[in-house]
Amino acid sequence: MPSYLNKFMEFQTIAAIDLGSNALRAVIARKDGDKVEIVKSFREPLRLGEDVFQNGTISEMKMQKTEEAFIKLFHIFTEYNVTDIKAMATSAMRDSKNGPILAKRIAHSTGIEIETIRGNEEAQVIFHAVKSQVNLKRKNAILMDIGGGSTELILVRNEEILAVESFNVGTVRLLKLDQATLEKEISVQMERMIQFIKSHLKLKDIDLFIGTGGNLRRIGKIRKKILGKPTSELAMFNEIHHMEEAILSMSYVDRIRRLELDQNRADVILPAIMLTHHLMQKLKIEKILLPKVGLKEGIILSMLEKVPKVFIMKD
């Protein structure tokens, strides 16, 4: 076969969808030989968890909004000549009584099949995304993914997963709590997390602490844009501490104006930064790495036969 035809056959456009408790996120990636590049990102703040964590079901209004978002996505995928799509749903769809009905409606209107995954499966996919960006050789690492409905902890030793645990504590779940109850719930969850970590790793032997999820990525962006630091891909404990104090003192409107947050981020960022700050404090860790990957990038990698040599993210 001529070399130019080989190159044509290697070129592929694929898409990944993460239907989370706070938002629907999707990416389109182009594979060209050993290089994969994210060329388009999409986010729709659906807040499925608002209904599910309070009533156990998704309201008809949110079901319609979700179906419309998938139809919009389908048209975008068509414009980009996407040839393969993989969609995963997490905590809100796991917990909802009528999640399967929503999945059937979306499959009927778009042909997109949604796989609702368990917390441990979610963690595995996220781990492979992180592993593609962070050197974990001869390292003991803790990966924390904070979502709207759950937080996953992944314990790693020398590039291999030691243990995974999914905790039913997420930013949307915590939103309805007053400040005192919020702090109490986070303290309870911290004890559970520390016990889980201690059962597999000695705290003094932890080399890396890594965070993923939309709110943690936003914390990195605040560090770079608002605090004037050179990179958004890490944050220091003292910076996280000061951010928590600042956000606690700000009104919802102030967070939007001063931190340049959108309306869907200005409320959920507080429980996310509190979870991060408390865990770093308990573990006596000075730095958290914030790679630009998460579930959707992990889904992209799961669709490929082998890990690409070059994986170019979108900021």
The pair of three-digit structure tokens given for residue 189, joined into one six-digit string: 């969850």
Per-position b or e across 257-293, b if 16+ CB within 10 A of its CB:
eebebeeebbbbbbbbbbbbbbbbeebebeebbbbbb
Query: What is the reported pLDDT for 2?
Result: 44
HSE-CB of 12 using CA atoms within 13 angstroms:
18
Cα-based distances in Å from 200 to 3, 102, 141, 168: 50, 39, 11, 20
Q: Mark whether 107 and 155 lie in a shared domain.
A: no
Give dist(CA 170, CA 315) in Å, integer: 23
Report whether 117 contacts 90 (CB < 8 A): yes
Count how many domains the chain has.
2
Same-domain pairing of 69 and 181: no
DSSP string, 132-201: TTS--TT-EEEEEEE-SS-EEEEEEETTEEEEEEEES--HHHHTTS-HHHHHHHHHHHHHHHHHHHHTTS
Q: Tell which phi-psi region holds residue 307, choosing left (phi > 0), alpha (psi between -120 and 50) or beta.
A: beta
Q: What is the pLDDT, as a whole number, of residue 10?
A: 60
Residues 257 and 300 in one domain: no
Residue 56 resides in a domain: yes
Regions of the chain where pLDDT drops below 70? 1-10, 315
Determine the pLDDT at residue 272: 96
**Residue 59: both structure tokens together:** 């309201």
Looking at the structure, tell me whether residues 282 and 142 fall in a common domain: yes
307 and 247 assigned to the same domain: no
Domain-located, residue 300: yes
Whether residues 287 and 300 share a domain: the answer is no
For the chain, the first-to-last Cα distance in angstroms comes to 38
Note whether residue 253 is domain-resident.
yes
Instruction: Extract long-range pairs of 159-165: CB within 8 Å, 24+ residues apart.
Output: 159/131, 161/124, 161/127, 162/200, 162/201, 163/196, 163/199, 163/200, 164/119, 164/120, 164/123, 164/124, 165/119, 165/120, 165/193, 165/196
Cα torsion at 222, 226, 232, 234 (round to 10°)? -80
**Are both 177 and 261 inside the same structural domain?**
yes
In-domain check, residue 304: yes
- pTM as predicted: 0.93
Whichever domain contains 30, its CATH number is 3.30.420.40
104 and 164 within one domain: no
Residues 176 and 282 in one domain: yes
| Same-domain pairing of 151 and 222 | yes
**Domain-embedded: residue 129:** no
Distance CA 190, CA 274 (A): 11
In a domain, 183, yes or no: yes
For residues 248 and 186, what is the distance between their CA atoms, to the nearest angstrom? 15
Same domain, 252 and 303: no
- Residue 149 sits in which domain range? 134-291
Q: In CATH, what number is assigned to the domain containing residue 180?
A: 3.30.420.150
Asked if the structure places residue 185 within a domain, the reply is yes
